[in-house]
Structure 1
C-alpha cells in the first residue's frame, strides 16, 4: 500500500515541480499583453482592461499542455439596459437553430453611452426597426486598435523584436489571437470583447444548490452574465469566468482535488492525446468532470487520499465517455461532447485501461503513449457504465459509489451511504442482464 501511494505522489511531484516555471512564463507574457491592452484603452476608453488575471494564471499552471488563454476585454457599456432578442437561424454559427444562450443585444433609445457605441462601430437593423450591437463590428474595431497598439509599442521600444506575433488575427474568428513570448515559450492569448449584465439568481433545476461547495459560491460565481461573440451578428452567454471562479473555489476545499485534476490532465496530454487526426480530451472537459465530482462527492471522506480522489474523477469521466454525454455543470441540458470530433470509444478504452492498472501509466516517458491494445475490457463494468440515464437515476452519488466499489477504491464508512449503494446495486443486478 505504501509503495502504491508513493508511486502516485512521485508522479504528482514531478507535475507540481513544473508549475512555478509555467507561472513565471505566464506572468512575463501577461505583462506584455497588459501593455497592449492599456494601449487599446488609451485610444478607445470604451474598451476596459481587466487586471484580475489570477484565475487565468491558475488555469494555465494546472494545464499540462500549452492551451490558449482566453482573455475577456469588457465593453464600457450599461449591459443591463440592453434587451435580449432571439437570433435568427441564418445568423447563428453554422446556421443551426438558435440555442438558449444565443441572442441579439438590442440598443434601446435614448441611451447616451449606447449611442456613443453605435456611432463608433455601427448597428444592425432588426426586423422591427430595433438597432442591435453587432459583435462582428466590435471585433473589427478592437482588432484595428490592437494592431495600432502593437505598432505604437514597437516604435516606442516598449516591445522587443519577437515579443508579439499577430499572424493569427483572422478576419472570421470570434476571438483575436496573439502569440506573446513569455520567459521561455510563446503563449497564445485569445482576446474576446464581452458585455456584462447582472442576471437572476442561479437555479440548479432539481439539484441541491451549493452541494459540495461553500454556501453561496455558485451564486457569486454566476451573478453576472457574460456575452461574447458567437457569430458576426449574434452574441452568446459564456461560462468561461464562472467556471474558473468555481475552480478557484474548489482549490479552497480540503483534500487533493486540484492535484487529481493535475494528474489526470498530465495523462490526457501524455497518453490520451489526439489519434488519427481526431481531437482528444481537453482540459476544459476535465475541469467540468472535477466540478461534477465536487457536487456528487460532497463528503470529506471522499477526498482523504490522492488515489481515491483521482478515482472520483475517473468514474464520472468513464460514465460520460461510455454514454457519450458530458453535461455542462452550469447548463446540464448541454452535452459538451456533442459535435466534438473525438473517438469516444477509443478514449474510453484508454481511460478504463488506466483505471484498471494505473501503475503502467504513472511514469513520464517520451515518444509513443503507453500501450493499451493488450488490455481486455471488463464486460460487467461496461454494462454498468452504459445503463440508460434518461431519468437521471444513474447520475447520483449512490451510482458512482457502485462504480468506485467496482474498481475497489470505495473505502467509505458512512452507513447511510453504504446502504444507499447496496440498494442501488440490487436494482442494477436486475437491470444489467436486460441490456445484453
Structure 2
C-alpha cells in the first residue's frame, strides 16, 4: 500500500495520514515508514525475543535513518558549510588587516581544507581562534607564585584566585623566544601575559579594522560581556554570532592538567593517543586572568577516524546534534552546543570501545541519548581531557532541568521530530 502523494503535499498532519491508512484492510506493516515522526526501539527494555526484535529494528532503522539523514542532517550540513565559507572569507580579510597593524595577531587562513580555528557551536554560533605570533618554545611553569594586582596593574592586598582545572597562568618567561611586543605593558603585569589585556588590544584592533577594510555592512562588533570579542556577521544563509578568541598554540607538548589517556582504557588506540599527544594543545584568551586549555586539534583527530572499524558513531553524533538543535535545545544561543555533545560522544566511546558496540544504529543512538540525559539531569558533564572540569558549571540549573524533561519524554517514546 502506498500513501497518496497528494496527501503528503497537503496541509493534513502526518498523524492523520497514518490514521487513515491504519484502518485499511491491507496489512498495516506495509505502511511506509518515511513519516516525519519515526518510532524507535527503546533498547533499555529488551524483549525476550531480542534477536528477532533487533533484526526488525535494524531494518526499520536503516530506512528511517536514510530518510532523516537526507532530509535533515545533509541539508543542515550543506547550509553550515556555505555559512562557514562566507564567514571564513570575512574573518580572513579582517584578521589580515589586524596582523598588519599588530604583528602579534596572525590572520585566519581561507584555505578550503579543514580549519581547526573555526568551531561551529551551533548553525549560527561560531567560535574562531586567532593564533598569536611571537611566542616560541613553551616550557612548563616550575614555581608557583601569588599574584597581587588588578587588571589595571594596581596592587591588591589579597591574591588573585588560583585557576580552575581548565585554566592556567601564562608568563612571558615560559617561552624560550618572544617578540619584544610581548614585553609591553599593554599585555603584561609583573611578567604575566594577561588574557583580558590581550583581548582589550585585540578588540580595539577589530573595531578599527572593520572600518578600514570596509566590512561595516557584513560585520558588526557587539557590546562586550566580560572578556569576549563578539561579531555579528551577515551571510547569504543566516546571521551568525562569531566569538573571536586569541590563542597561544603549544606544539609537541601535552598539558599536565590533562590526565589522559586514563589507565586500562581501550579507546582510542595507542597509536592515535600518541599522535594526539604529540600534536599539542593551545591556550585561549577568554577570561580575565587565566588562559583556558583548548584541545580542538585532538578533538578533530578523534572525530576524523572515529568509525575506522565500520561503526556508526559519527552518524549517531550527527542525528543527536540535529535533534538537539531542532527539539531539545533550539535557539540562536543554545546552552548545550556541539562541544558538549562531542564530550558525551567521547565518554561513550571510551566506555564502549568495541566495534560490536556500534553496529546497530538504534541501540547506539539511544545509548548516547541516555548518556546526555544523565549528564543534563545531574547538571554535570566532565570535560573529556580534563575530567575535573564540569562543562555545566555555569549553566542555569532551571534550563538544564527543562532540557532533561524533554529528553525524558523522548526516551519514553523515541520519535524523530521535525520542525
How far 1:305 sits from its partner (Å)?
3.1
State the match for 1:15 in structure 2.
Answer: 72
Supply the distance in 2 between the matched residues of 1:105 and 1:79 (Cα, whole angstroms): 13
Q: Structure 1 residues 285 and 111, CA, compared in 2 at 3 Å: closer, same or farther?
A: closer
**Equivalent of residue 100 in structure 2, options 30, 42, 45:** 42
Q: Structure 1 residues 273 and 226, CA, compared in 2 at 3 Å: closer, same or farther?
A: same
User: Is structure 2 residue 129 aligned with structure 1 residue 32?
Assistant: no
Q: Structure 1 residues 119 and 57, CA, compared in 2 at 3 Å: closer, same or farther?
A: closer
State the match for 1:140 in structure 2.
Answer: 200
User: Is structure 2 residue 405 aligned with structure 1 residue 349?
Assistant: yes
Correspondence list, 1:330-345, <5 A: 330-343=385-398, 344-345=400-401
How far 1:150 sits from its partner (Å)?
1.7
Supply the distance in 1 between the matched residues of 2:397 and 2:370 (Cα, whole angstroms): 19
State the match for 1:217 in structure 2.
Answer: 272
How far 1:28 sits from its partner (Å)?
1.5
Q: So what's the TM-score if we normalise by structure 2? A: 0.71
User: Is structure 2 residue 356 aligned with structure 1 residue 272?
Assistant: no
Greater relative contact order structure (CA < 8 Å, 6+ sep): 2
How far 1:80 sits from its partner (Å)?
0.9
Supply the distance in 2 between the matched residues of 1:57 and 1:115 (Cα, whole angstroms): 26
User: Is structure 2 residue 359 aligned with structure 1 residue 301?
Assistant: no
Supply the distance in 2 between the matched residues of 1:37 and 1:350 (Cα, whole angstroms): 41
Task: Say whether the 8 Å CA contact 2:119–2:128 is kept in structure 1.
Answer: no
How far 1:23 sits from its partner (Å)?
0.6
**Equivalent of residue 163 in structure 2, options 98, 105, 111:** 98
Moved more, 173-182 or 344-353: 344-353
Task: Say whether the 8 Å CA contact 1:86–1:102 is kept in structure 2.
Answer: no
User: Is structure 2 residue 128 aligned with structure 1 residue 70?
Assistant: yes
Q: Structure 1 residues 163 and 345, CA, compared in 2 at 3 Å: closer, same or farther?
A: closer
Supply the distance in 2 between the matched residues of 1:279 and 1:254 (Cα, whole angstroms): 32
How far 1:41 sits from its partner (Å)?
1.4
Task: Say whether the 8 Å CA contact 1:25–1:183 is kept in structure 2.
Answer: yes
User: Is structure 2 residue 114 aligned with structure 1 residue 54?
Assistant: yes
- Greater share of helix residues, 1 or 2? 1
Secondary structure of the corresponding residue to residue 240 of structure 2? strand
Supply the distance in 2 between the matched residues of 1:66 and 1:110 (Cα, whole angstroms): 37
Q: CA RMSD in A?
A: 3.4
Runs of 5+ consecutive residues of structure 1 not aligned to the other structure? 126-130, 366-436
How far 1:364 sits from its partner (Å)?
0.9
User: Is structure 2 residue 316 aligned with structure 1 residue 260?
Assistant: yes
User: Is structure 2 residue 173 aligned with structure 1 residue 108?
Assistant: yes
State the match for 1:80 in structure 2.
Answer: 138
Q: So what's the TM-score if we normalise by structure 1? A: 0.68
Runs of 5+ consecutive residues of structure 2 not aligned to the other structure? 1-55, 152-159
Secondary structure of the corresponding residue to residue 318 of structure 1? helix
Deviations 1:90-135 (A, max 9, x none): 879xx7653244333222399763433223735212xxxxx22222
Supply the distance in 2 between the matched residues of 1:345 and 1:272 (Cα, whole angstroms): 11
